[in-house]
Structure 1
Amino acid sequence: MPEIILNGPEGRLEGRYQQSSTPNAPIALMLHPHPQHGGTMNNKVVYSLYQSFQRQGFSVLRFNFRGVGRSQGKFDRGEGELSDAAAALDWLQSWNQNAAQCWIAGFSFGAWIGMQLLMRRPEISGFISVAPPANVYDFSFLAPCPSSGLIIQGDQDTVVPQEAVGKLIQKLSHQRGIKIDYKVVPGASHFFNEHLDQLAEAVDQYLETAIPEAAAKARTTR
């Protein structure tokens, strides 16, 4: 799992990158939770997402937002972090210019950033958002949501209430041509502490359906 340093808007950004052995493999970018609440690229949910995409044959990048770990800069209320994510995606695409597809995945604050990036980058073909903080941030920019994807929520989440995510799902599901899969993990808290296996299973199952060709290639190269 090679460590990388890429150029961000405010200096270097620290990341971890895994290159797929499959030619022209799809790519995926992982985004971590809130930097001011202990969020890093090594968060267990983010790492679980990273491993799931890797299992399905993707080339995968996760990185620390500005001011986290060895990444330079300081917290910028989401605006700078969105720029960081765009720079990370640029780096990922530069190393995979013939990638079959481009995906984004985020947890909590990272899900909010990821959905904004989704609106700005038409090449993103799918997304996975874990516990998107619809009770804290405005998601009205998803009008319309440009890609189908998966939203995962724990039914014991006390940080992001299930009702807030449900309202977001209802809004997105009314958009023509977009399919939002919604998975509720029974007993799971916001951080999925005792339910990481169920989280990984849900992501794996979704990706195997959404990217059958990539999944088939991944299984033959394991």
Structure 2
Amino acid sequence: TTFPCGDIALEGEWHFPQATGHFPVVAVCHPHPLYGGDMSNNVVLAICQALPWRSVAAFRFNFRGVGESGGTFGGGITEQEDVKAALTFVSSTPDIDPKRVGVVGYSFGASVALPVALQDERVTLLALVSPVLPDSGWEQLKRYTKPKFLTVGDADTFIPLERFQQYMRDTPDPKQYQVISGADHFWWGYEEEVARKVTQFFVDGFNQI
């Protein structure tokens, strides 16, 4: 599937539940393109495969300059436009409930998803997996008043556990967060576990909308 973002075309892929209906949807933002991140990432795929089993559609896409997507890497700034374009695309798709739209970002994808969720009213739920955020990003999180779920592995070398826990204490409700024992930043062998936690958050959240 391709969808427009300004004057470029981006590549994406749908994961629909087997049933017919008016589904909630989650757009999934992949890790850092300059370190091999794309929409075929192990965590991205695990989440996209888990959601439809619980009657939630998932849409993964390549940021600009990745795979078949046009344009060039934008340092996480222009990528925010890619997320907004994905939200426009999924919200206008038949079989999707435009009032129940969520976003999940993994690693670099979290740093792109968060500012979009703050600005874009269409985002009703936000999940951040192993979020690599500058201090300003954690400050942004304090301003995000809708339901949010964050998770890291306790072996993640990019995100010091004590700092993560402190940031989460400082983040206002509604929030959920979880530390997964044994997992590092890349989640090898823990994909199903993290996908299950993320999926449960969205299922519960969408059920309340």
TM-score by length of 2: 0.90
In the alignment, what sits opposite 2:75?
A: 77
What code does the residue aligned with 1:9 have?
G
In the alignment, what sits opposite 1:28?
A: 26
Q: Is the 8 A contact 1:27 1:92 kept in 2?
A: yes
The alpha-carbon distance between structure 1 residues 51 and 9, as it changes in their structure 2 partners (threshold 3 A), is: same
1:165-204 mapped onto 2 (5 Å cutoff): 165-172=164-171, 175=172, 178-204=173-199
Higher strand content, 1 or 2: 2
Distance, in Å, in 2 between the alignment partners of 1:93 and 1:75 is 25
In the alignment, what sits opposite 1:15?
A: 12
1:122-164 CA-partner distances (Å, limit 9, x unpaired): 1211111101113576332234213112111000001222233
Distance, in Å, in 2 between the alignment partners of 1:18 and 1:98 is 15
In the alignment, what sits opposite 2:143?
A: 144
Distance, in Å, in 2 between the alignment partners of 1:135 and 1:165 is 12
Q: Is the 8 A contact 1:31 1:110 kept in 2?
A: yes
In the alignment, what sits opposite 1:6?
A: 3
Distance, in Å, in 1 between the alignment partners of 2:68 and 2:143 is 36
Distance, in Å, in 2 between the alignment partners of 1:114 and 1:22 is 28
In the alignment, what sits opposite 1:90?
A: 88
Shift in Å, 1:100:
4.5
Q: Give the secondary-structure state (helix, strand or coil) at the position aligned to 1:76.
A: coil
Q: Give the secondary-structure state (helix, strand or coil) at the position aligned to 2:60.
A: strand
> Which deviates more from structure 2 when the two are superposed, residues 120-129 or residues 158-167?
158-167
What code does the residue aligned with 2:51 have?
F
What code does the residue aligned with 2:198 have?
V
Shift in Å, 1:25:
1.1
The alpha-carbon distance between structure 1 residues 188 and 141, as it changes in their structure 2 partners (threshold 3 A), is: same
TM-score by length of 1: 0.85
Give 5+ residue unaligned stretches, structure 2. Answer: none
Shift in Å, 1:209:
3.1
1:14-70 CA-partner distances (Å, limit 9, x unpaired): 110133434221111000011111110010011111122222212221100011001
In the alignment, what sits opposite 1:109?
A: 108
In the alignment, what sits opposite 1:217?
A: none
Q: Give the secondary-structure state (helix, strand or coil) at the position aligned to 1:79.
A: coil
Distance, in Å, in 2 between the alignment partners of 1:211 and 1:98 is 10
Distance, in Å, in 2 between the alignment partners of 1:28 and 1:124 is 9
> Which deviates more from structure 2 when the two are superposed, residues 158-167 or residues 5-14?
158-167
- Give the count of matched residue pairs: 207
Q: Is the 8 A contact 2:25 2:101 kept in 1?
A: yes
Distance, in Å, in 1 between the alignment partners of 2:145 and 2:124 is 8
Q: Is the 8 A contact 2:145 2:174 kept in 1?
A: no
Q: Is the 8 A contact 1:33 1:107 kept in 2?
A: yes
